[in-house]
Structure 1
Amino acid sequence: MPSFHGSCAHDHDCEAQDCSSAWSLYQHIDTQRVRCLNEAVEGSCRKVFKPWHLRLETSSGTQLDSEEDDPELLLHVPFDGAVKLTGITVIGGPDGASPSKLKVYINRDDLDFATVADLPAVQEWELLENYSGQIEHPMHAAKFSGVHSIDLHFPANFGAARTTVTFIGLRGEFTERKRQAVEAVYESKPMPQASTDHKVPEQQGAGWNLGM
């Protein structure tokens, strides 16, 4: 699929106007199942999905770093339901550590670096160094509807020995929760009264109601 290199800056100051509702999809990420290949500290990938007002936190415990001398990262991000994605913003590290490219895949659970090397992305961008979150990369809404998981591939950065990501914001709409396991509820039907006109069946059928 063709690349999409577009980006746009917000048309207002998010410090003066609350942008938290626009970037609230982090609440629907199944955080405990987020994982990342080539992260220097296991589980650190979960720390970059956070509320908008915390996006500028840059302490070592709240950022994602790749392994030294290997800038590539591949995150798997599942949601707790279906979402429609319309935009993404990525805040990276200073001194060339910000990711310079992003490829996105949807509804896959089997990706690794070898797979994405040959697999066309649903959409991809050439990123800009973005230290405040003011740069948004629009997503093709028609391609990002009914999304239950996304994979974010950062293949390179701006020249540093490792890639650093401190915040990933997702804009869009939460549409539905995953269907829960179907529970069958057995309800016995009362036996009809005996009469001289009607024969009582030897076995009365049972009804099954499916509940969510």
Structure 2
Amino acid sequence: MACLHDHSCEDHDCAADWSLYKHIDLPKVSALNEAVHGSVKSVFKAWECRLDSSGGYLESNDGDPELLVFIPFTSDVKIKSISVVGGADGTSPSKMRVFINRDGIDFSDAQNMQPVQEWDLVENLQGVLEYQTRYSRFQGVASLTLHFPENFGAETTQIHYIGLRGEATQLKRDVVATIVYELMPNPSDHKTPADAGGGFSHVE
């Protein structure tokens, strides 16, 4: 199946300029409970290729529809919307819960933690629906974890495409950490006579 050229793409703001696909750190993308190891990487592709599953798709293990997808970025991003194309015959995920900047969480963590946002999904087989984020909460995102706890009744969950729309800040995470470190005051740099007596006097 060839990739589609969607003439209406610019009309509803899904143009490539807004896609965060190129800012995903694809080699580090991972999933828990995927039937085929590494298959999660195949669901991230250009918008016009969203219906092309020739490169594979993500499917959960038989009898266990729950999936957890970890998506790191190469720079901080702001996320405006998320699009998910699931499988047919009840295999599409029916709920999505999202966590930000929480590396290494497992299913137990995901079930017990409060998500930044969650959505009830519909079967979106053509990829035309986007789920809007609470944009003010999706700033400075270094990684995104998507929890799909259930589907529409099938034995497995299938995901063929995940699309993220927003903006990249081009600010690397290690640069941010360095800036924060340099801005933090070091009490040892502000010693006063009171220090000699074992106390500490705050200097304005």
Normalised to the residue count of structure 1, the TM-score between the two structures is 0.75
Structure label with greater radius of gyration:
1
State how far apart, in whole Å, the 1-side matches of 2:56 and 2:17 are. Answer: 22
Q: 1:28 aligns with which of 23, 39, 42?
A: 23
CA shift for structure 1 position 148? 0.3
Q: 2:168 aligns with which of 157, 168, 174?
A: 174
CA shift for structure 1 position 24? 1.9
- 1:210 aligned partner: none
* 1:54 equivalent in alignment to 2:49: yes
Answer yes or no: is the 8 Å Cα contact 1:23–1:52 preserved in 2: no
- 2:191 aligned partner: none
State how far apart, in whole Å, the 2-side matches of 1:141 and 1:167 are. Answer: 22
State how far apart, in whole Å, the 2-side matches of 1:22 and 1:124 are. Answer: 26
Answer yes or no: is the 8 Å Cα contact 1:23–1:51 preserved in 2: no
Answer yes or no: is the 8 Å Cα contact 2:91–2:151 preserved in 1: yes
State how far apart, in whole Å, the 2-side matches of 1:170 and 1:22 are. Answer: 12
Q: Given the superposition, is the C-alpha separation of residues 164 and 23 from structure 1 closer, same or farther in structure 2, using an over 3 Å criterion?
A: farther
- 2:34 aligned partner: 39
- 2:8 aligned partner: 17
Q: 2:130 aligns to what SS in structure 1?
A: strand
- 1:204 aligned partner: none
CA shift for structure 1 position 22? 5.0
CA shift for structure 1 position 168? 0.4
CA shift for structure 1 position 133? 1.1
Q: 1:47 aligns to what SS in structure 2?
A: helix
- Structure 2: segments with no counterpart, 5+ residues: 179-204
Aligned length: 168
> Percent identical across equivalent pairs?
49
Could you tell me which amino acid in structure 2 is paired with residue 174 of structure 1? A
State how far apart, in whole Å, the 1-side matches of 2:173 and 2:30 are. Answer: 23
* 1:85 equivalent in alignment to 2:79: yes
- 1:68 aligned partner: 62
Q: Given the superposition, is the C-alpha separation of residues 108 and 63 from structure 1 closer, same or farther in structure 2, using an over 3 Å criterion?
A: same
CA shift for structure 1 position 117? 1.2
Answer yes or no: is the 8 Å Cα contact 2:142–2:173 preserved in 1: no
Normalised to the residue count of structure 2, the TM-score between the two structures is 0.78
Q: 1:116 aligns to what SS in structure 2?
A: helix
